[in-house]
């Protein structure tokens, strides 16, 4: 069985794909919107106290316009970043403006929209336009256009694209090395020239996963802080105006619930990840270093090594979700041999009939280099053990890492 190649899975057409309307109109709109914001701040830059802000805004302008240029050219990463920012930031801003408007409704006269200042209308329209662009960038035709301009170069990159919702089918369920073409044989020969005795890889999985988790938790914390501030403002207004305090109490209860959910989830994630999670692959086999455990798996003691993924349903169809490393032993180790690794043991239907149901599952960071390094190392030392990419039945991932 030959390895499926990325160019066979997503081959760009001869004709350049037509740029979607949302990109054609949205990129200039976002560029002009940011230019208007900078222009509004510019007259105040003569103040010495605002010069640092001016430098930061100019630097942000250069970064933003670079990202927008990449989006104009169909860059997949730029598409994901802009689509996320233009839905999250304007969405929260619209909610905040609406809540502030409700609290200040008495200052607008008889009707809420009757005496609404012009600046408010401009702010609502600007946020609404950016939010509309963000929703449009999430459409499947935009991702297909980006993928046609920048097809993936490897199965690992396909996995990352799938995690972002791009319509590529996942790699072969059990793809193994077996060249049956001239190009495959040439690549196999070049791979065989590598000295397997010297080829080893060590990956600190915990450090990369904690880095990703901090970003996700930070974004969620900002969300919680926004709601906490809104609850505080409503409470102060209620106390000053002798009004009903029930809205403030309701939002405060929501904030406490979100904080409790975050604390419990982070605690469970920390217990599962442990103090350390370092993976080493060399000529002797695989080794996993935990906080106190050092688990070693010789190549002869393994029945298979592969990367599993979960397929989730979204409004844009099914997509690949959170690839993780599965290790199958010839004879399953008894419970208690490696206490920390036992927390990562799973009992599921095996991807191939001859494999056992028990396997150790190591959480992997969403990093293309990690996938490539693991696959290349196993292929160099024991290609017959490589199971490729296969689907698992459940996510088995903390919600804030998904």
DSSP string, 113-178: TTS--HHHHHHHHHHHHHHHHHHHHTSHHHHHHHHHHS--SSHHHHHHHHHTT-SPPPPPTT----
- State the Cα–Cα distance between residues 94 and 74, nearest whole angstrom: 28
Report the percentage of the chain scoring pLDDT > 70.
65
Q: What are all long-range contacts of 381-386, with beta carbons under 8 Å and residues at least 24 apart?
A: 381/196, 381/199, 381/281, 381/282, 381/283, 381/299, 382/299, 382/302, 382/305, 383/176, 383/177, 384/176, 385/299, 385/302, 385/303, 385/304, 385/305, 386/176, 386/177, 386/304, 386/305, 386/306
Look up tokens 């403030």; give the residue: 248
pLDDT per residue, tens digit, the chain (402 aa), is 333 333 333 444 445 688 999 999 999 999 998 888 888 777 766 666 566 667 777 788 888 899 899 999 888 888 888 888 888 888 887 877 777 766 666 665 555 555 666 777 788 888 888 889 988 998 888 888 888 887 765 555 555 555 444 333 444 444 443 333 334 434 333 433 344 555 688 888 877 777 767 777 777 777 777 777 777 776 666 666 666 666 666 667 777 777 777 777 677 666 666 667 889 999 999 999 887 778 899 999 999 999 988 876 665 566 666 788 999 999 888 888 888 888 888 999 998 999 999 999 988 887 778 888 899 999 999 999 999 888 887 776 665 555
- State the Cα–Cα distance between residues 152 and 157, nearest whole angstrom: 6
Q: 12: which DSSP letter?
A: P
Name the nearest CA neighbour of 250 among 221, 230, 236: 230
CA dihedral (183, 188, 191, 192) positive or negative? negative
Domain boundaries, the chain: 21-138, 152-203+277-401, 207-273
Burial of 15 (0-12, 13-18, 19+ CB in 10 A): exposed
């Amino acid at each position: 069985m030959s390895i499926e190649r990325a160019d066979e899975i997503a081959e760009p057409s001869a004709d350049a794909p037509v740029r979607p309307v949302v990109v054609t109109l949205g990129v200039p709109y976002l560029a002009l919107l940011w230019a208007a914001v900078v222009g509004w701040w510019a007259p105040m830059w003569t103040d010495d106290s605002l010069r640092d802000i001016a430098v930061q805004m100019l630097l942000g302008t250069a970064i933003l316009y670079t990202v927008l240029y990449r989006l104009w050219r169909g860059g997949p990463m730029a598409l994901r970043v802009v689509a996320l920012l233009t839905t999250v930031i304007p969405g929260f801003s619209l909610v905040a403006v609406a809540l502030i408007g409700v609290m200040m409704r008495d200052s607008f006269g008889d009707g809420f929209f009757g005496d609404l200042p012009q600046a408010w209308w401009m702010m609502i329209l600007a946020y609404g336009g950016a939010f509309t662009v963000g929703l449009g960038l999430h459409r499947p035709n935009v991702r297909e256009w980006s993928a046609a301009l920048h097809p993936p170069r490897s199965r690992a990159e396909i996995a990352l694209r799938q995690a972002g919702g791009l319509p590529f089918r996942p790699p072969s369920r059990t793809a193994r090395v077996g060249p049956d073409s001239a190009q495959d044989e040439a690549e196999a020969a070049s791979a065989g020239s590598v000295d397997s005795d010297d080829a080893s890889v060590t990956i600190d999985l915990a450090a990369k996963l904690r880095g990703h988790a901090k970003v996700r938790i930070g974004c969620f914390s900002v969300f919680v802080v926004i709601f906490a501030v809104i609850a505080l403002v409503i409470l102060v207004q209620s106390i000053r105006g002798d009004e009903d305090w029930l809205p403030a109490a309701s939002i405060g209860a929501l904030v406490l619930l979100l904080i409790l959910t975050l604390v419990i989830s982070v605690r469970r994630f920390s217990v599962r990840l442990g103090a350390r999670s370092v993976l080493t692959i060399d000529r002797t086999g695989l080794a996993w270093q935990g906080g106190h455990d050092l688990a070693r798996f010789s190549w002869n003691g393994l029945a298979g090594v592969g990367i599993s993924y979960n397929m989730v349903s979204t409004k844009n169809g099914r997509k690949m979700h959170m690839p993780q490393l599965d290790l199958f032993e010839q004879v399953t180790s008894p419970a208690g041999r490696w206490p920390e690794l036992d927390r990562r043991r799973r009992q599921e239907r095996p991807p191939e009939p001859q494999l056992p149901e028990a396997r150790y599952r190591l959480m992997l960071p969403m990093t293309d280099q990690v996938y490539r390094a693991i696959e290349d190392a196993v292929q160099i030392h024991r290609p017959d053990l490589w199971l490729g990419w296969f689907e698992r039945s459940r996510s088995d991932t903390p919600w804030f890492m998904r």
